[in-house]
Each structure stands twice: as C-alpha cells, then as structure tokens.
Structure 1
Amino acid sequence: MINLEWLRTFSAIYECKNITEASKKLNMTQPGVSKHLAALENHIGKKLFERTTRKLTPTEYGKFYYSQIKNPLQALEKVEYYSSQRVKKQRSAISIGCTTDFFRKELRQKIYSFDMYIVTSFGNEEELAEALETEKVQLLVGIKKHFKYDHEFTFLKNEELVIICSNNIEIPLDLKKDEKQLIKWLQKQTWFSFDNEQDDIKKFWKTKFNTAPKIVPRYILPSYIDIIESIKHNQGFGIVPKHLCSEALENNTIKIPLKVATPIHQKRFYSNKLKNSKLKEINIFREQMEKSITAKIART
C-alpha cells in the first residue's frame, strides 16, 4: 500500500528539483527524503527521476505520476488544514481505505462537509483488505469481497461497466457480423486492465460473448482513471466504470466501440471488521455519505 508521506516527498522533490531543497521544505533529513523516494519507486516499479550531480530531472513517467497525484494531495492538505483549524470541537475520527478512483470522483468533493476527522489511505484491493485486517484503516470502500478475513460487507452502489478504446481504432465492419472472428481480433489487441484477475474484462466477455476471454493485458495500471488517460493517448482497449469516463466520452477523446444488450454492472461495497471499536464512527461516515448523495440528487 502506498504511504501518503512517500507521495508528499515525491511532490516536494518534483517541485524543488533536488533532495536538499525538498528536505528543507519537508523539515526532514536528506537521507529520509531519499529513503521515501526509493520506497515509492520500488513500490510502483518505475524510475521517477534521472539523477545528476546538481539536480533531479523527472522521467516521463515521473511527470505523468506527478500530474496524477497533484490534485488529490492538494485536496488532502485542505482536509488537514480544515481539521487543524477546528480542534476545540470534539469530532469523530476514522481512517478510510479506498482506490484513488473513488477518492477523486466520489469522496473528494464530499468530505469537506463531513463533521469528522478523516485519514485516507490508497492502495489496490488486496493491500487495502490487509490494512483493514491489521486495523491500519477502519473502513474500506471497494469492489471485491475478501472472504479470507472476518469482514462485514455492506452494499454501496452498482457501477455500470463499458468497453472503451482509442479514437483512432476502427473495428472492421465484417468482424461485427462474425462474432468468432471479432473475438479473435479483440483478443489480439492491446489491453489495459485494473489488475491481473481481470474481473471487469471477464464480466464484459461473459455478457457480450457468453464465453471466457483469452487475454493477457499488456498494461496493468493502478486505477481506472489511469487506464482512461492512457487510452486517450495510446492505442488500446479497456473495461471501465461508465461514470469515470463520461467526460472523456463527451469530449470525444475516447469511444465505446461495442454495445451490449444488457448493461454490465459491478457492485461497490463498504467493508469493516466485525469486531471493531470504531463502529460508531463507521456509521457516522456512512450517514454523511448518504446525506451527501441525497443532497446531490436533490440538486439535479
């Protein structure tokens, strides 16, 4: 699971362009800053900077990564500032585990109105389930049920899944009339996936073709938003929640190449440990989310 302090350190290095200035900005030692950067690069498996004697130059992936975390980090800093300004009032506190997709599209605009202290941790579903089990977080928002742990699951909502591809990809007309050939053609294309289990691709394939896919995704990315952004600028296919790509579809930067007769859904859940000292805080958070959702529906 990604440590938030690693991201803050990476952001400071990116903006300061060297370890010394970043350490001053963060009030850390230079070895501490270097350790955070090394831990983040090791975790994501990518080099973020090219090192010279005088400064650090971000790699292309480093530039992309900074663009993805900049706004979420700023949003979290606003939450921290808001909390620190009102310390006199007793408030409930909770640690939430979720994907960056959920935070950026669902949670970020809501939590400022929540009258409680909130710490957010990011990671993939397996990492977050383990964090929940070890009580690093008290509540998890995810799409998978990890039955190896003694966790309770509460339904949050359904999300519609759609197939997307780059705008410059055209499926040959003759293939659309020949399902077997269409399947073979699709399986040869470049695919982006959320994880190795490919649950989203499997759901689409089962609904559209009533069979299992034989696909080895070329790229496994940490979030659906990363998949959407990558497909905007590179050739490929992916299966993503429709609400996450609605803006890109409206702007014609990606497209839906195939329709399905029956909408494909995945469920999103809350999960928490059954034996939990934070059940009161969990219920407060859920209530705040419900109020926020209800208010949004009323405005529309």
Structure 2
Amino acid sequence: MVNLEWYRTFKAIYQQGTLTKAATELMVSQPNVSVQLSSLESYIGHALFIRLPRKMVPTEYGKLLYTQIVESIDNLERVEIEFKKSSIRKEPTIRLGVPSEVFYTYLSQNMNLVKSHLVVEYGLAMDLINKLRNDELDIAFITKQDKNPDSLTYEYLYSESFMIVCNVDHDTTEFDRYIADNDLVKAEKWLKAQSWYAYDTNLPLIRRFWRSNFLKRPIVKLKAAIPDNMAILKAITMSGGFAVSSDLIGGDTLKNGQVKVVWRGIIPATNSLHLAYDKNKIDPRLVDEMRDYITQSMDGYIDTK
C-alpha cells in the first residue's frame, strides 16, 4: 500500500538536497527519512537519488516523479494547514436550509457576512421542517409554517406579495381595461386564454392567487411545469408566457424590469416567511448570525411588515 509520507519525504529531500535538512523540515529523525525514502524506492522499483557524501542528487526517474507529484502534495499540505487552522479557531458549523432561489438571488452574493462554516441545503418548506425535526439541519428560512405542535420556533422575518407577471413586450391593454372597469369575469377569461408556467402541475402559486381574487380554482393552459422559480422567470423573459411570482422570488428580475407586473390582485395574496429552529438545540449566537445574514442580504427587496 502506498504511504503518503513516503512522497512527502521524497519531496522534502528533493527540495532540501540532504537527508539532514529534509529531516529538519519534516521534524523527524534522519534515520526515519532514510527509511521512508528506501521504502518508496523499493515500492516503485527505481532509485530516486544518487547518494553523494554531502548531497542527494535526483536521478532522471526522480526528476520525473517529482514533476508528477509535487503539485498534488502541495495541495494536500495546504488543505492540512487550513484544516488545522480551522480546528484551532474552532469555527462552528451551521446547517442552513433554504429555497434555492433565495440562496441564489440574495444569500450567495453576501457570503462575506457569514463567519461560521456554512453548509447549505435546498428544499421546500415541509422538507426543510422535517429535516429540522430529524436534526439534519440547524436552522431554516422557510416560506410555510407547520401548524403541528412541536419544539420548533418560527420567527417571523418578512411577508412576500404575489403577482401575475409576463414578458415585457406582451400587450396587456385589454386586461388592464377589464381591471379598470372592475370586470373580473372578463379579466379571468383573458388570463385563462394565456399560456402559463408553474412550479408543478398542482399550480401552487397560481392556485393561491386565483382563490384570493377569483374565489375559485384556476383553469389555465399550462405551457410547462418547471420546478425552479428562477428558471420560470427566465423562460418568460426569453420566450413569453405568464406566471405567478412574488417580490421574494422576483428579486432583481422585478427590480430591473425584466418582466412585466400584470396584476397584483384586488385582494393581495401574501405569505409569511420565517426563520425556523429548535431553540433547545442551537446556540442563540448562531441564530443571530443567520438572522443578520438573511436580513442584510435581502434588505430593500421585500416587505418587512
């Protein structure tokens, strides 16, 4: 079996030029260095150095081996050094659950705000809640609160507002007129004639918006079900179509006018966003760190009421 220490010893001898200096660098005895080198030479079947009285001169095979392994050994040593530094600092690890679009749009741009070692996991609200209960996560930023009694704390952070969006070039003059006239029957008929995108075939966001404003389940032409809200907005931007989005999901896409807000509804459809955690299992300082990380990253994008 290959011993990594053989290669570290070989590298040290190659760079230092003598067994004595190599032993000093590795903080081992000279006989130990000699044994390690002999073991490597025996394993690969080639002499790696010419032993002179005061110098170790690499053979051609030794030079070839050095060029092949030096970068890998250097990388391993860097990892070892950083790992030791991290252990000395005793940086805590935080396992954060979050919707993928939230991390991509907001949090990924502000990693400098995180001092702890962060492990991110994507998921929908109920999946993240279940992982919190099973100790697979420490904390989660979720878009839905489970009403079942348990030990989790749900700390309110934001309220997101839903809206219908479409491609900026789509003519919505007719729809705007129906809304101005408060003719919801014709407005709904116009919307139902459009092509729609949804997160899945159950139409979760469309259904929520429809029930708030038309008091019924939606019957729309589904162009595609795409389980990625950012990809839906991209599809609308590039290819047209309609979807229900929110100020949380839309982020820069809404802020920069890349999609058109068609209608925010007569009765606003909203959703509360929470920081969920078990206060008996997480250091309050880590909760503070994640709260600050999320609120600073999302500052100015969505409602705080």
TM-score between the two structures when normalised by the length of structure 1: 0.59
Letter in 2 for 1:140: A
Unmatched segments (≥5 aa) in structure 2 = 1-78
Larger radius of gyration: 2
Q: 1:230 aligns with which of 235, 252, 257?
A: 235
In structure 2, what is the equivalent of residue 152 of structure 1?
A: 153
Cα drift, residue 127 of structure 1: 2.7
- Tell me, yes or no, if structure 1 residue 192 matches structure 2 residue 194: no
1:85 offset after TM fit, Å? 8.6
Amino acid at match of 2:263: L
Distance 2:214 2:146 in 1: 28
Paired position in structure 2 for 1:134:
134
Q: How does 1:1-300 map to 2 (within 5 A)?
A: 86-87=85-86, 88-148=88-148, 150=150, 151-171=152-172, 173=174, 176=178, 177=181, 178-215=183-220, 217-245=222-250, 247-249=252-254, 251-261=256-266, 263-273=268-278, 276-280=280-284, 282-289=286-293, 292=296
Structure 1 residues 136 and 232, CA, compared in 2 at 3 Å: closer, same or farther?
Answer: same
Residues in 2 aligned to 1:149 and 1:217: alpha-carbon distance in whole angstroms: 37
| 8 Å contact from structure 2 (residues 102, 248) kept in 1 | no
Which whole-Å CA distance do the structure 2 matches of 1:153 and 1:193 have between them? 28
Q: What secondary structure is seen at the aligned counterpart in 1 of 2:188?
A: helix
Residues 107, 297 of structure 2: 8 Å contact kept: no
SS at match of 1:108: helix
SS of the aligned residue for 1:110 comes to: helix
1:277 is matched by which residue type in structure 2? K
Return the alpha-carbon distance in structure 2 between the equivalents of residues 131 and 279 of structure 1. 18
Letter of the structure 2 residue corresponding to residue 158 of structure 1:
S
RMSD of equivalent CA atoms: 3.4
Aligned to 2:76: none
What CA deviation, in whole Å up to 9, does each residue of 1:75-133 have, x standing for no partner? xxxxx9xx859512122221001111111223223332222111001123333233222
2:162 and 2:268 in contact (8 A); partners too: yes
The corresponding residue for 2:30 is: none
One-letter code aligned to 2:165: I
Q: Is the 8 A contact 1:164 1:239 kept in 2?
A: yes
Q: Deviations over 1:183-242 (max 9, x none)?
A: 123124222223455443234324443444334744333332121111112232111122
1:131-179 alpha-carbon deviations (Å, 9 max, x no partner): 2222221111111123357233111111222210123432462772542
Query: Match of 1:109, SS?
Result: helix
Give me the whole-angstrom Cα distance separating, in 2, the residues matched to 1:161 and 1:296.
17
Pick closer, same or farther for the CA change 1:273–1:237 going to 2, 3 Å: same
Q: Which amino acid aligns with 1:219?
A: A
Q: TM-score, normalised by structure 2?
A: 0.58
* 2-structure distance, mates of 1:246, 1:293: 11
Distance 1:251 1:295 in 2: 16
- The 1:125–1:294 alpha-carbon spacing in structure 2 relative to 1, beyond 3 Å, is closer
What SS class does the counterpart of residue 153 from structure 2 fall into?
strand
The percentage of counterpart residues that share the same residue type is 17
More displaced stretch, 240-249 vs 184-193:
240-249
